[in-house]
Structure 1
Amino acid sequence: MPHVERGMTVGLFGGSFNPPHQGHQLVAEIALRRLGLDQLWWMVTPGNPLKSHNDLAGLGERVELSRRMAPGPKVKITAFEAAHDLHYTAQTLAFVKLRNPGIHFVWIMGADNLRQFHKWQDWRAIAETFPIAVIDRPGSTLAYLSSKMAKAFSHARVDENHAALLPFLRAPAWTFIHGPRSSLSSSAIRSARATNKPARS
């Protein structure tokens, strides 16, 4: 787990990153800038319980590719979930909170995940552990209006003009941040590789 000092603001950006791409890089850059973060933990997970693992690259490979993609020294690439046998986001956030008192954390996720967020294990507990910043992704801009999570926690939504306050708010609190978007996706890249065609950005 990356080193932090009390009072820091830290974004938690988790995923299988199979493979990492410029869309992930863009989400990290937007989160760092709009939330005013001291660090962003790019957390490479052992796997994704909602996805098939048939084409999952090795953890070491995904970590190394993520290091090459990291946009600057504030982004810390880590795979601590594998070392601590953490398989679900709710488990990870509870673990992080327990181990890091005095740190202001924000969960970062792309808007494409918001549509299925209610399928994640203990999704309400996730929303009630740390504030959440949802970063816009192609085809998912309206997810902040239509998703089950957005409706369930509509009372806790923060205007994106006040996004920099999010790390200091008590959960549940979330915001949707618009900005530049990349149409790249890990699944499209894997499919393109399988057919020897370039993935479109």
Structure 2
Amino acid sequence: MPHVEKGMAVGLFGGSFNPPHDGHALVAEIALRRLRLDQLWWIVTPGNPLKSQAGLAPLGERIERSERLIHDPRVKVTAFEAAHRIRYTADTLDLVKRRNPGVDFVWIMGADSLATFHRWQRWREIAATFPIAVIDRPGSTLAFLSSVMAKTYARARVDEDGAPRLSRMRAPAWTFIHGPRSSLSSTALRLLRDGD
């Protein structure tokens, strides 16, 4: 796990990053700026339980590509989940919380993940552990209105203007952040790569 100090505001941005691309980097940049984070942990996961593992590049390769993509020293590429044999986000957040008392964390995800968030293992526990920032993605802008998570936690939604305070809030709390969007997707990039 990257080093943090008490009182810091830290974003947790997890994914398989298979491969990482400029759209991911844009989400990280928007999160750092709009949430006023001291750090962002770019968590490269061993795999995604909701997706096929076929075509999943080796973890080391995905870490290396992520490191080449990132230029902001506040972004820390890490793969600590593999060392702890963690498969589910709820377990990741529990470990992070136990290991880092006094640090204010916020879970960051693209809006494309919001539609299926209720299928994640112990998703309500995730929402109750740390505040969540949902970053707009092409074709997903309306997901925050219709998703199970958005409906379930409608009262916990924080207006976008409150995003800079989100990491300091008690969960459940979440916001949807609009901004520049990238049409890149890992799935499309894999299809292009495999088609060559």
The two structures have a TM-score, normalised by structure 2, of: 0.99
SS of match in other structure, 1:3: coil
Give structure 2 stretches of 5+ with no counterpart.
none
Deviation of 1:47 (Å): 0.2
Does the residue aligned with 2:26 lie in a helix, a strand or coil?
A: helix
Q: What's the counterpart of residue 106 of structure 1?
A: 106
**Residue in 1 aligned with 2:119?**
119
Q: Which amino acid aligns with 1:39?
A: Q
Hey, what's the Cα distance between the residues in 1 that align with 2:108 and 2:189? 22
Would the aligned equivalents of 1:25 and 1:71 in 2 still touch at CA under 8 Å? no
Give RMSD over aligned pairs.
0.5
1:84-103 matches, within 5 Å, as 84-103=84-103
**Percent sequence identity over matched residues?**
72
Equivalent positions of 1:9-48 (< 5 A) are 9-48=9-48
SS in 2 for 1:192: helix
* Structure 2 equivalent of residue 152 of structure 1: 152
Shift of 1:194: 1.4
Partner of 2:185: 185
Q: After the TM superposition, which segments of 4 or more aligned residues of structure 1 sit over 2 Å from their partners?
A: none
- Offset from partner CA, 1:7-38 (integer Å, 9 cap, x none): 00000000000000000000000000000000
Amino acid across the alignment from 2:148:
K
Does 67-76 or 96-105 show the bigger shift? Answer: 67-76
Q: Which amino acid aligns with 2:141?
A: T
State the secondary structure of the residue aligned to 1:105.
strand
In 1: Cα distance, 2:48 partner to 2:2 partner = 22
Q: Aligned partners of 2:76, 2:39: CA distance in 1, in Å? A: 7
Partner of 1:199: none
C-alpha distance after superposition, 1:70-107 (max 9, x if no partner):
14000000000000111100000001000000000000
Cα distance in 2, alignment partners of residues 32 and 89 from structure 1: 21
Kindly report which structure 2 residues correspond to 1:126-137, keeping only aligned pairs within 5 A, or say none.
126-137=126-137
In structure 1, the partner of 2:165 is 165
Which AA in structure 1 matches 2:22? Q
CA distance in 2, matches of 1:166, 1:180: 20
SS in 2 for 1:48: coil
In 2, the alpha carbon distance for the partners of 1:112 and 1:166 equals 20
CA distance in 1 between counterparts of 2:121 and 2:21 reads 26
Task: List gaps (5 residues or longer) in structure 1.
Answer: 197-201
For residues 81 and 194 of structure 2, the distance between their equivalents in structure 1, rounded to whole angstroms, comes to 29
Q: Does 1:5 align with 2:5?
A: yes
* SS of aligned partner of 1:33: helix
Distance 2:180 2:5 in 1: 31
Q: Alpha-carbon deviation of 1:195?
A: 1.4
In the superposition, the TM-score normalised over structure 1's length comes to 0.97
Partner of 2:54: 54
Alignment: residue pair count? 196
| Contact map agreement 1:107 1:131 (CA 8 A) in 2 | yes
